[in-house]
Amino acid sequence: MNYIVFDLEWNQSPYGKAREIERLPFEIIEIGAVKLNAEREVTDTFQAIVRPAVYRKLNYRTKEIVHMDQQELENGEWFPDAVRRFLAWAGPDSIFCTWGTVDLPELQRNMKYYNMLGLLKGPMHYYDVQKLFAIQYEDMKSRRSLEYGADFFHMEKNQAFHRALADAIYTADIFRRIDMDVIQAYDSVDVYQNPKVKTEEIHLIYNGYSKYISREFRTKEEAMQDPEVTITPCCLCGRPSRKRIRWFSVNARNYYCIAECPVHGLQKGKIRMKKNDDDGVFVVKTVKVSNEPEAQSIRDKRKDLREKRRRRRHS
């Protein structure tokens, strides 16, 4: 088993959103990666410059951020060749690691554009090093920049950030400093390829919270009628919890509730409605240990929403 710590750089439409390709808003122009063995020792590196085929001219923001010129891109390889070479180098028994949550979806979106998504089966378990860093060294909720992480450990910054291989090297160095018990306790799941049927649904238990990723539904209303979506088992013991505040929506995507386990007390439930590229709807539900002040905040939120709706009805 190997860990593949990778980073991507991408370009976007140089002519604004009006000329953006909806299926490919961001086109990958570089892949960089570091291979670590089971003991997290560096064994190899990978780099591929990708010749753009959709947005052939660099967007001005990309020029500002990525240290790469047009000529370097023109000498790059075609994306299908680059990604096949990358996946062959990574090997079939590897676990991906990234800084943050955006690289894996963009890799898959680019692969889907070229009808190559079958080469990666999802949903995929991976390690979000940005999250792991926050859990071990900060307040668990913060999400810092990669450069912040490098500065935190007083790393030598002898390579410019925002080049894929350099960023992968910095990320791998931070990953090696995370305690193994933290890594094993807090894996992440990428749901770009979300569960399609009930047998593929995902149930995960972490320290202090649980996560459920549903199959697809036609509408969010249909999803909220499903018992598996709306139940709130205790995230510590799995016992049924009684609703103190039933599910309510604060916008088109997010729902909240408060439940109480007879043994472990108050729990906060959150549902996020997500759409995939095929317009299906699926649910990511978390249930976390809560407390009375947080429950009161949810009550106040519900009260404010009801008052706003009442005023709209009478306006």
> Mean pLDDT over residues 110-128, rounded?
96
What pLDDT shows up at residue 302?
A: 92
Burial tier of 135 (Cβ tally within 10 Å: 0-12, 13-18, 19+): buried
Is a pLDDT exceeding 90 seen at residue 63? no
What are the domain boundaries of the chain? 2-185, 196-314
The Cα–Cα gap between 208 and 215 comes to 24
H helix or E strand, kind and range, residue 254? strand 254-261
The token pair at 62 is 């990309």
Cβ neighbourhood burial of 155 (10 Å; 0-12, 13-18, 19+) = middle
pLDDT at 57: 86
Contact (Cβ atoms closer than 8 angstroms) between residue 286 and residue 269? yes
Per-residue model confidence (pLDDT) at position 208? 86
pLDDT reported for residue 61: 82
243: closest CA among 216, 223, 261?
261
pLDDT of residue 306: 87
Q: Of 4, 7, 8, 5, nearest to 27 (Cα)?
A: 8
pLDDT digits (tens, 9 = 90+) for 33-49: 999 999 999 999 999 99
Kindly state the percentage of the chain with pLDDT values over 90.
79
pLDDT(315) > 80? no
Top pLDDT among 280 and 2 is at 2
User: According to the model, what pLDDT value does residue 14 have?
Assistant: 85
**Virtual torsion, Cα 28, 172, 158, 11, nearest 10 deg:** 10
89 has a pLDDT exceeding 90: yes
Share of residues in the chain with pLDDT > 70 (%): 100
Per-residue pLDDT at 71: 85
Q: Which CATH architecture has domain 2-185?
A: 2-Layer Sandwich (3.30)
Could you read off the pLDDT of 191-231 as tens digits, one per residue?
Answer: 999 999 999 999 999 988 999 999 999 999 999 999 999 99
Average pLDDT, rounded, for the chain:
93
Residue 277 has pLDDT above 90, yes or no: no
Confidence of residue 295 (pLDDT cuts 50, 70, 90): very high
3-state secondary structure at position 58: coil
Q: What is the DSSP annotation of 14-38?
A: TT-GGG--TT-SEEEEEEEEEEE-T
Residue 250's pLDDT band, with cuts at 50, 70 and 90, is: confident
Q: Looking at residue 137, what is its pLDDT?
A: 96
Residue 278's pLDDT is 74
Find all residues with CB under 8 Å of 301, minimum gap 6, and list them.
Answer: 250, 256
- Crossing angle for the helix pair 164-175 and 129-137, to the nearest 10 degrees: 40
